[in-house]
């Protein structure tokens, strides 16, 4: 593998990935097929609410059950509707380095602005293996890369030393942190040029206050305007407003990020808002339970 790494430099990550990013759900019909008209309607909802970055085919987008062809078609459809109004980031990570490289190249060919690369899961490689995997994908295209550190899903955390090492690559520019270790995040931000994006909606405000560039939110599917307002308030240094926004979001965050996966609850909430026509998901996910729907309805009513 060619080593293209270079010394750390400060990157304008906000302009590369955006600051108020959404982990977009993938609308589906009851037969499980991707509902492209609903995809386009959702994109308009997200843009109107102020999202400046849309992650396509991430975990919340049910990437593990999307085919390669569906993923490319989804990226192309979102890009066409976005038309330069936001950055489009393609999720390409798998547990197979060769497959991740193929997906990265396909996303680049489709026109994606950047890549989201999850830590390889299931195989549980060594940290050296994680580095080799991420470098292989970063070397495969000319696109900027955001790493995704989510040990609750992958069974493996990216060590601080691993993140520092990967930060030397000129295209690895950011981290979606769903680990929740604020002290480590601050340490990595201090030691590298990596931009941090909070990947835990419950902790968006603390991460932003500690220096994160932005958020990559599931709840932003439902209330993109509120999530964008939170990011904007912190960036302006108005922590009183930021705290008020976060407090207002708490019931919805609890309902969306509660007992069921965010892909399930976010779709159910979007149906409740009239943005999506149905909340279909693919197995092994199941539709939202009656209790989930009740909690979402109550949270949305309280917001109104």
Q: Would you state the pLDDT for residue 282?
A: 97
Question: Range with the lowest mean pLDDT among 57-61, 76-80, 212-216, 257-261?
Answer: 257-261
Question: Range with the lowest mean pLDDT among 3-7, 169-173, 203-207?
Answer: 3-7
- In the DSSP assignment, the letter for residue 158 is P
The domain segmentation of the chain, as residue ranges, is 15-237
pLDDT confidence band for 303 (50 / 70 / 90): confident
Q: Would you state the pLDDT for residue 12?
A: 58
Per-residue pLDDT of 49-98, as tens digits, reads: 999 999 999 999 999 999 999 999 999 999 999 999 999 999 999 999 99
Measured in residues, the chain has a length of: 304
Question: Range with the lowest mean pLDDT among 1-10, 157-166, 220-229?
Answer: 1-10
Alpha carbon distance 94, 99 (integer Å): 7
Alpha carbon distance 217, 204 (integer Å): 8
Interval 229-240 mean pLDDT = 97
Q: Would you state the pLDDT for residue 3?
A: 38
- Assigned CATH topology for domain 15-237: TIM Barrel (3.20.20)
Give the helix ranges, DSSP H, for 86-221.
97-110, 127-140, 151-154, 160-166, 182-191, 204-209
Residue 6 pLDDT more than 80?
Answer: no
Q: Cis check for the bond before 59: say yes or no (omega within 30 of 0).
A: no
Give the chain's largest Cα–Cα span.
55
Residues with a known catalytic role? 148, 176
Residue 262 pLDDT more than 60?
Answer: yes
Q: Would you state the pLDDT for residue 7?
A: 31
Q: Cα separations (Å) of 246 from 66, 201, 211, 256, 295?
A: 33, 10, 17, 14, 18
How many other CB atoms are found less than 10 A from the CB of residue 132?
A: 14
Residue 14 pLDDT more than 80?
Answer: no
Q: Would you state the pLDDT for residue 4?
A: 33
């Amino acid at each position: 593998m060619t080593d293209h790494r270079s010394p750390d430099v400060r990157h304008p990550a906000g302009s590369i990935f955006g600051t108020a990013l959404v982990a977009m759900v993938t609308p589906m019909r009851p037969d499980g097929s991707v509902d492209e008209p609903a995809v386009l309607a959702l994109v308009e909802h997200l843009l109107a609410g102020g999202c400046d970055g849309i992650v396509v085919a991430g975990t919340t987008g049910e990437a593990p059950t999307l085919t390669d062809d569906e993923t490319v078609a989804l990226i192309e459809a979102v890009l066409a509707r976005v038309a330069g109004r936001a950055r489009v980031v393609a999720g390409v990570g798998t547990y197979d380095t060769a497959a991740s490289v193929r997906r990265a190249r396909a996303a680049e060919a489709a026109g994606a602005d950047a890549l989201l690369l999850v830590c390889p899961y299931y195989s549980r490689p060594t940290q050296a293996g994680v580095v080799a995997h991420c470098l292989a994908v970063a070397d495969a295209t000319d696109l900027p890369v955001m790493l995704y550190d989510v040990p609750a899903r992958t069974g493996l955390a990216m060590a601080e030393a691993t993140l520092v090492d990967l930060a030397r690559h000129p295209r690895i520019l950011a981290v979606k942190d769903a680990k929740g270790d604020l002290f480590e995040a601050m340490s990595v931000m201090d030691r590298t040029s990596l931009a941090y994006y909070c990947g835990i909606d419950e902790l968006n405000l603390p991460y932003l206050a500690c220096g994160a560039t932005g958020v990559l939110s599931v709840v932003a599917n439902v209330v993109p305007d509120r999530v964008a307002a939170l990011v904007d308030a912190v960036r302006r240094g108005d922590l009183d407003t930021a705290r008020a926004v976060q407090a207002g979001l708490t019931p919805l965050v609890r309902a969306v990020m509660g007992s069921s996966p965010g892909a399930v609850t976010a779709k159910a909430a979007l149906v409740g808002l009239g943005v999506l026509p149905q909340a279909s998901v693919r197995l092994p996910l199941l539709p939202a339970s009656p209790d989930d729907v009740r909690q979402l309805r109550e949270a949305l009513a309280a917001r109104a």
